[in-house]
A and B are shown apart, each in its own frame.
Chain A
Amino acid sequence: MTVAVEKTEKPQKTGSVEPPAPAESVRKVSRSMVVGAILVVWLVLFVVLRGKQTLALAAADLTDLHRWFNDVNDSIGANRNSNPLFLYFFNEIRLVIDSLVTFVQELISQPSVGRPVPQIGWLGVVGIAGYVSWAVGNWRVALLAVAGFTFLGLQGLWQESMDTLALTVSAVFVALVFAIPLGVWAGLSDRFNRFVTPFLDLMQTMPTFVYLAPLTLFFQIGPASATIATLIYAAPPTIRITAHAIRSVPETTVEAADSLGATRRQSLMKVLLPMSKRTVVMGVNQTIMAALAMVTIAALIDAPGLGKTVVQALQTLDVGTAFNAGLAIVVMAIVLDRVTTAASARQEAARLSKNRFITWRRPLLAAGAAVTAVLAYLSHTYLWAAEFPGEGSTGSTIRSTADSVTTWVQDNLSGVTNAFRDALTNSLLNPFQALLTDSPWWLVGAALIALAVVLGGWRAGVTTAVCVGLLVGTGVWSDGMTTLASTLVATVLVMLLGVVFGVWMGRSALVDRLIRPTLDAAQVMPPFVYLVPFLALFGATRFTAIVAAVVYAAPVAMKIIADGVRNVPATTVEAATSAGCNTWQIITKVQLPMARGALTLATNQGLIYVLSMVVVGGLVGAGALGYDVVAGFSQGQLFGKGLAAGLAIVLLGVMFDRITQAAARRTSA
């Protein structure tokens, strides 16, 4: 969310990097000419072969693969009560996780046995939040935590927020128990790293809707399924970032430990882990953020909390209520993000300096602990400290404000927005989509592979070939191409916004500080909340889906580019200024070219984030893969097709990730 994203996304994507291709600055011109040539050939053949072998499939049609997926799903459902794997394996997992979640819930959110309220009331939770934030971070984030949590109560959403917190805490806890050891392993062993990377890709790009229904088959309806759905999506960042952290400990340090006679175990425990602590905490941060992103989706399988409020409000298109709950999620995310970021900074500070603050810290911590214990006791015993007082009047103000803003926007802007929509759809999206969907599949496939080879090298070409082959195998090729067209258009918009705002933020610290909270909010606010006004503005169209994806993905690109621009050495900029460059020249000739690495990374991340919104797009008129996934989740006979569409999204993601990564390595080499 904060600076963290830029720093931590990089490792994710460079985890399995092989030695970079040799620099070839001389051939750069010729490469863009080759790309142009490929496109021209494609266009010519498109005109000739238009509409042939497009592999189109109607919305209700299925292929054999889809039917087979259905049968597997059915037979699992039919045999779940007799299969020993269920009786002794999945059921045990479910029991353990269920009791963990119930325990946390009874602690802070749900009435526990024999009590009408949870064990710890609002005062205790606020106290603990403040104390822990201060202990692991600093007093500033402690203040933020106290204010943030109190705000949740003022919104009238205390219990819902605590339910969400309980589920998030449990899911993150379980995720870390597995993710950190796996991450260490992946950091130590190249082979394991190569083995695990495709699985992590799958976990992060496979739309949750695809595995939500099967999950309830394995783990039944209840907290266990919700927790597992959350941790599937949330664990990968920690694994990736931990592995990266272990890898980036300087080799000389490890060698020094070895030469002093440290065993493998000793060098792990005394050197590698302590030195990578800071980065690992950033991984935890990313995992928490990802877990919060799942709140609304988990609500579809009865996960309690804010997600339910959002989903229910949207049944009646009640934007105000949905926004209020969405805001609570944003507040909670910002608090958790800032606290873990501060915690990671403290790790660094504590490692570098052992100054006299340490001696002061102990007694202060003890005193704080005593105060917190008293607050918790009060909230356990007295009603006023247990149940948040007041009717949540702040909440109703937020609700009505959000409602009137939405109404105003819908009433006053829709003429302008429609013109913009039609212009973009007709001039860019429709021709591009026609090119992709109406060309024969082998032509598109060949063009993609050729582009991958030119831009990313042979290895990227081979990956692309495999992905194209599998895409054809999923039986949803045509839908995949429709989705691809929208995705690429959205990515172009993301990059435009990313460059404009990223450069602005990178050049001015003040602008950065003003814009950043909005970006954080755009990333964590459940998309369901802003979809309703978007639908009113743009109708149920592919364009609405594109706008939703841009809202979600542009912040990441902006942050990465801002970081890249900021990292251009000040001396270089000064030299350019003294050489008489004006601002425009400095940006276009110095800062952007020098931030090339950041630009490619932003493209990579922007594309992946856009792809993760494909399913949301399916809910607002994008059709194609997103709709297939949603329909598969809703209708039994379309389950297999939904799964195939989910796999197609994963394949598109992997394909473009590998191409852009390889291209990034080339440009930065």
Chain B
Amino acid sequence: MARQARQWRVGAVGIAVLGLTLTACSGAKVGDSSSDAGGSGGSGKCGTFNLAVNPWVGYEANAAVIAYVAEHDLGCKVTQKDLKEEIAWQGFGTGEVDAVVENWGHDDLKKKYITDQKTAVDAGPTGNEGLIGWYVPPWLAKAHPDILDWNNLDKYAAEFKTSESGGKGQLLDGDPSFVTNDEALVKNLKLDFKVVYAGSETALIQAFRKAEKDKEWVIGYFYEPQWFMSEVPLEKVKLPEYKEGCDADPEKVDCDYPVYKLDKIVSKKFSESGSPAYDLVKNFTWTNDDQNVVAKYIAVDKMTPEAAAKKWVEANRDKVDAWIK
């Protein structure tokens, strides 16, 4: 009996507390403020725009600006998908990805998806030029200017020795996402170096950052445009000049990497959809400097990609207008 009474008392107290909470609460209800319901109510013509975002900052800069313009000027609903290149290209066929907006070469993927499967089409250059090559930290280029010519590399090979390089100089190779001919290059140029695979962009950047700070000897594979260049402006080593076809046989490569005209790839369906977002992607071009500015906003000033895009778009309205006229 007593137990039951106690239960009742607990229950009563509980209900009283609940009642108090309910009456005490006031404040905005969900749905009251319909101001920020998103731009999807705009032009119905554009619809959803699936934009792949590959995992490097330069790409993110392109994507952020395109997404910002598509959302605010064209009224599209932009879905950004974080994907590695290979997977993004796969998505063209299934309609999950409409556009890739910074492509580095990738002739194998072009063959597979543009020529063979016919699920993707080329949408022209982004205006950015991609350089790949061997780089050294600025202090080294300053202290030994002749190191910037490959002919002199062997002279310094001993300085580049590490615990990993088995008695030879270490050539730090990097991000597995990009094509590298470095093993063949070292062999065919008869350099006393060994390629050591750092395995990620993160590892490369840390290596160069530390090399510059502590004046260490590092030579490695790198590329631009890249946000890290605005922190540590690496210097490119001159390799034998690139000539058409000198890299045709991967075993026999003995020349520099070609200059990559970075381009945009879109899905076939998207290119035929008549969406204004397609025209935007097609017309989008800018310079390396433009991209570096946005990339710096994101990487160094730690702005969100959206805020970075907004800042750039507002400062460069004329360029944007040319894309969407």
Contacts and interface: CB of A to CB of B under 8 A. Distances in A.
Interface of A: 58-60, 74, 77-78, 80-81, 115-117, 212-213, 216-217, 220-222, 299-302, 308, 311-312, 314-318, 359, 363-364, 367, 370-371, 374, 378, 380-386, 410, 414, 421-422, 425-426, 430, 531-532, 535-536, 539-543, 618-623, 626-627, 630-631, 633-638
Given A59-B195, A618-B199, 16 more contacts: A60-B184, A80-B94, A216-B91, A299-B82, A311-B82, A314-B202, A383-B28, A383-B33, A384-B25, A535-B202, A536-B206, A536-B209, A620-B200, A621-B198, A623-B197, A634-B177
A258 to B, nearest CB: 42
Interface of B: 3, 7, 10-11, 14, 18, 21-22, 25, 27-33, 36-37, 55-57, 60, 81-87, 90-91, 93-94, 96-97, 108-109, 112, 116-117, 162-164, 172, 175-177, 179-180, 183-184, 195-207, 209-210, 214, 227, 250, 298-300, 302
B91 A535 contact: no
Contacts of B302: 316, 318
Given A59-B195, A374-B22, A633 B86 contact: yes
A558 to B, nearest CB: 28
Contacts of B97: 221
Nearest to A543: B163
Given A532-B202, A623-B197, A117 B84 contact: no
Contact of B199 (A300, A384, A619): A619
Given A311-B55, A535-B207, A619-B203, A636 B197 contact: no
A627 B163 contact: no
A634 B109 contact: no
15 contacts: A81-B93, A221-B97, A300-B84, A302-B82, A316-B299, A370-B14, A384-B28, A539-B207, A540-B172, A618-B197, A623-B197, A627-B176, A630-B200, A633-B86, A634-B85
A383 to B, nearest CB: 4
A308 B81 CA distance: 11
A221 B163 contact: no
A60 B250 contact: yes
Given A374-B18, A540-B172, A635-B86, A382 B28 contact: yes
A535 B218 CA distance: 14
Nearest to B21: A374
A80 B93 CA distance: 9
B108 A637 contact: yes
B116 A363 contact: no
Contacts of A364: 10
Contacts of B205: 317
A195 B55 CA distance: 40
B117 A77 contact: yes
A383 B27 contact: yes
Nearest to A386: B30
A414 B31 CA distance: 55
A542 B163 CA distance: 9
Contact of A221 (B91, B177, B227): B91
A532 B203 CA distance: 7
A378 B25 contact: yes
Nearest to A642: B176
A367 B202 contact: no
Nearest to B174: A540
A316 B30 contact: no
Nearest to B59: A315
A255 B114 CA distance: 67
A301 B34 CA distance: 32
B31 A115 contact: yes
Contact of B29 (A311, A382, A620): A382
Given A220-B94, A540-B206, A635-B86, A383 B32 contact: yes
Nearest to A639: B86
Contacts of B81: 221, 302
Contacts of A59: 183, 195, 197
B18 A222 contact: no
Contact of B176 (A117, A531, A630): A630
A308 B305 CA distance: 14
A631 B176 contact: yes
A630 B207 contact: no
A311 B3 CA distance: 56
A92 to B, nearest CB: 15
Contacts of A359: 3
A308 B7 CA distance: 48
B21 A540 contact: no
Contacts of A299: 82
A508 B293 CA distance: 57
Contacts of A74: 112
Contacts of B184: 60
A633 to B, nearest CB: 7
B292 to A, nearest CB: 14
Given A316-B57, A386-B30, A621 B203 contact: yes
A81 B118 CA distance: 13
Contacts of B57: 315-316
Given A367-B10, A626-B199, A541 B96 contact: no
B70 to A, nearest CB: 19
A216 B96 CA distance: 11
A535 B33 CA distance: 48
A316 B163 contact: no
Nearest to A118: B30
A374 B28 CA distance: 17
A78 B199 contact: no
Contacts of B180: 60
A483 to B, nearest CB: 13
A667 B203 CA distance: 43
Nearest to B60: A315
Q: Which 6 A-B pairs have the closest CB atoms?
A: A540-B198, A631-B176, A535-B206, A316-B299, A540-B203, A425-B163
A382 B25 contact: yes
Contacts of B25: 378, 382, 384-385
A78 B112 CA distance: 9
Given A74-B112, A302-B81, A384-B28, A635 B179 contact: yes
* Most chain A beta-carbon contacts within 10 A, residue among B11, B81, B163: B163
Contacts of A318: 302
B36 A116 contact: yes
A221 B302 CA distance: 28
A392 B322 CA distance: 40
A127 to B, nearest CB: 12
A239 B9 CA distance: 47
Nearest to A421: B163
A367 B16 CA distance: 12
A351 B18 CA distance: 34
Given A378-B25, A623-B199, A635-B177, A316 B7 contact: no
Contact of A620 (B11, B91, B198): B198
Contacts of B109: 636
Contact of B90 (A217, A314, A539): A217
Contact of B164 (A58, A414, A621): A621
Nearest to B13: A367
B227 A316 contact: yes
Contacts of A116: 30-31, 33, 36-37
Contacts of B179: 635
A80 B94 CA distance: 9
Contact of A634 (B86, B203, B206, B214): B86
A60 B196 CA distance: 13
A621 B196 contact: yes
B86 A380 contact: no
Contacts of A316: 57, 227, 298-300, 302
Contact of A315 (B27, B56, B108): B56
Contact of A636 (B55, B112, B198): B112
Contacts of A370: 14, 18
A620 B177 contact: no
A213 B87 contact: yes
B203 A620 contact: yes
A154 to B, nearest CB: 20
